[in-house]
Chains A and B, each alone.
Chain A
Amino acid sequence: MIDGFLALYVFMLAAFTGKEIIGRVPVILHTPLMSGSNFVHGIVLVGAMIALANAESVLATVIGFVGVILGAGNAAGGYVVTERMLEMFKSSKDR
């Protein structure tokens, strides 16, 4: 577990990183990029898996199970649609 203030710094640095890495994105990639970042927060699956693994009661198991299903759907669906969109981007030189 990371300590409070260290976490605050991690939050800040990650936030600046997020803004910086997409700073120069051309409009043509906005939709795939939104979809791609949508895929990346599918990492929530990992949290849901751990929550389900730690679940002791029936209620906690059900909640964790739902979390895993939704997280897995976010990751899988997000990946497929992003990959399909990006596959189509080609310049005149590529054909």
Chain B
Amino acid sequence: MNTQMMLVNIAKVSYFLAAVLFILGIKRMSSPVTARKGIVQAGIGMVIATLATFAITGGHNIGWIIAGIAIGVIPTWLWGKKVAMTDMPQMVALFNGMGGGSAAAIGAGELLKFTQMVDMFKPPLATLALAVIGALIGSISMTGSIIAWAKLDGRMDKRFTFDNQKIINFAVLALAVLVGLALVLWKLNAALVVVFFLLALAFGVLMTLPIGGADMPVVISLYNALTGLAVAFEGYAMGIEALIVAGMVVGAAGTFLTQLMAKAMNRPLTNVLFSNFGGGGEGSAIAGAQKPIDPADAASLLYMAEKVIIVPGYGMAVAQAQHKIWELSQALIKAGKEVKFAIHPVAGRMPGHMNVLLAEAGVPYDLIADMDDINPEFKTCDVAIVIGANDVVNPAAKTDKSSPIFGMPILNVVDARQVIVIKRGKGTGFAGIENALFYQDNSRMLYADGKEAANSLIAELKALDGGGGH
């Protein structure tokens, strides 16, 4: 066996090891106890696979390879280290777009290589087809993720629509697929490859433009799955097993996660992608008025309560109020009250995003309850505090068929004996819909910035405790 053969075998064994570590890592990441070990394990797999790859590149272009890795790693590492937890969704979108772009680049390289081959050396049909499909998916995922990033980062208007949008989008996709078919079955030439990529990249942009912010979690998750598939297909085209296994595992896990999310929002995936949300339907008008409350009265409600459920929404994170809310909760727990946090599956901007934000503030995860577990408990709760959440507690989702959010599962805050809503003003939520909860007899509105409200509640509670004694 010559040296080159041996090096290739070492690399192949390393890829196998990496694939095992990736699967174990993802498995561990699905339990809070082992999650931390999981990402470290997957990280070790990545380092092993990358180092092993140097063994089979034979030193060709090694300067370019090292420079490329340095340019890719250093800024993203530094940026990832310091970015705020509230900005995680757009970071995931951005890194995902990079992965899609990398897969698309591999596809482009392979296709260009194929165009230069003479007929008898042409690749088998399956190789060519998967290289084309991977390139298509990777390109869509790249530009789509960039648009998703721009929207979540507030660099772009939430939605962008024009006449005949669906028809134009469909036409672009159909053209991209047709050109792809032509590449596989008819003629492999460079000009056609360029047209193919332009169409695929354009479709990623067009497809994401009309989707509103409320649906962005599902879209990012979908693009994450798509990048996984693109990586798997390009892995097949290049004959690298680690890419096939890791990409496919992510593709399947991501698709499953996307379904879970779409289900949690009661929005079939087709609706997310092809209908507009957050601008349309008005819903029925609501009679009555919102009843304000001042911090002192709100604090006495809390003082007398035995069980308090806190319902945080993205607005809390925007106000950076999570630390103060946890301080308030600790004060309540110290006073002998039962405190729980109720999390809607799509609270925040990605499923589980709110949990990350609460974890950052120091809230232990065993105080945080999922929607299905906490919903029956609202009946026995004395005070529910809604902070920065709106659509996910809107009873119209259950009662008002004309509401655009009708059918979405919600937290049953309506059932609590008293509801305190901390809100900056009277505006509507992300989806732009009036909230009937705010007009209920047992609801009181505490109009304030989240942080300020929590601060004054803590102060008022202290005053009550000091003045009244036990």
Q: Which residues of A contact B (CB under 8 A)?
A: 1-2, 4, 7, 10-11, 14-19, 21-55, 59-61, 63-92, 94-95
> Scoring B residues 73 to 107 as 1 if CB is less than 8 Å from chain A, else 0, what string do you get?
11111011101010011011011101101110110
B180 at interface by CB-CB < 8 Å: no
What residues of A have a CB within 8 angstroms of the CB of B427 in the complex?
Answer: none
Closest to A12 in B: B248
CA distance A52 to B101 in the complex (A): 15
> Scoring B residues 368 to 388 as 1 if CB is less than 8 Å from chain A, else 0, what string do you get?
101100000000000000000
State which of B36-44, B275-283, B403-411, B458-466 sits at the interface with chain A.
B36-44
What residues of A have a CB within 8 angstroms of the CB of B247 in the complex?
Answer: 41, 43-44
With contacts A33-B30, A49-B65, A79-B39 known, is A69 near B350, CB below 8 A? no
Are the C-beta atoms of A33 and B101 separated by less than 8 Å? no
| Whole-angstrom distance between the Cβ of A9 and the nearest chain B Cβ | 11
Are the C-beta atoms of A33 and B29 separated by less than 8 Å? yes
With contacts A48-B102, A78-B95, A81-B83 known, is A32 near B352, CB below 8 A? yes
What residues of B have a CB within 8 angstroms of the CB of A90 in the complex?
Answer: 359, 364-365
B231 at interface by CB-CB < 8 Å: yes
CA distance A2 to B360 in the complex (A): 45
The binding surface of chain A is classed by DSSP as: helix
What residues of A have a CB within 8 angstroms of the CB of B231 in the complex?
Answer: 41, 43-44, 47
Further 15 A-B residue pairs, CB within 8 A, beyond A38-B95, A40-B250: A23-B256, A38-B92, A40-B22, A40-B25, A40-B26, A41-B246, A47-B243, A60-B109, A61-B64, A68-B72, A72-B70, A81-B83, A83-B36, A91-B365, A92-B364
CA distance A71 to B243 in the complex (A): 12
With contacts A27-B351, A49-B65, A67-B105 known, is A74 near B253, CB below 8 A? no
Contact of A36 among B25, B65, B91 (CB under 8 A): B25
| Whole-angstrom distance between the Cβ of B389 and the nearest chain A Cβ | 15
With contacts A44-B243, A69-B71 known, is A14 near B252, CB below 8 A? yes
Are the C-beta atoms of B18 and A70 separated by less than 8 Å? no
| Whole-angstrom distance between the Cβ of A23 and the nearest chain B Cβ | 8
CA distance A77 to B91 in the complex (A): 8
Are the C-beta atoms of B92 and A81 separated by less than 8 Å? yes
What residues of A have a CB within 8 angstroms of the CB of B18 in the complex?
Answer: 43
B448 at interface by CB-CB < 8 Å: no
What residues of B have a CB within 8 angstroms of the CB of A67 in the complex?
Answer: 68, 101-102, 105-106, 109
> Scoring B residues 238 to 254 as 1 if CB is less than 8 Å from chain A, else 0, what string do you get?
11111111111111111
What residues of B have a CB within 8 angstroms of the CB of A11 in the complex?
Answer: 232, 244, 248
Contact of A18 among B25, B43, B75, B249 (CB under 8 A): B249
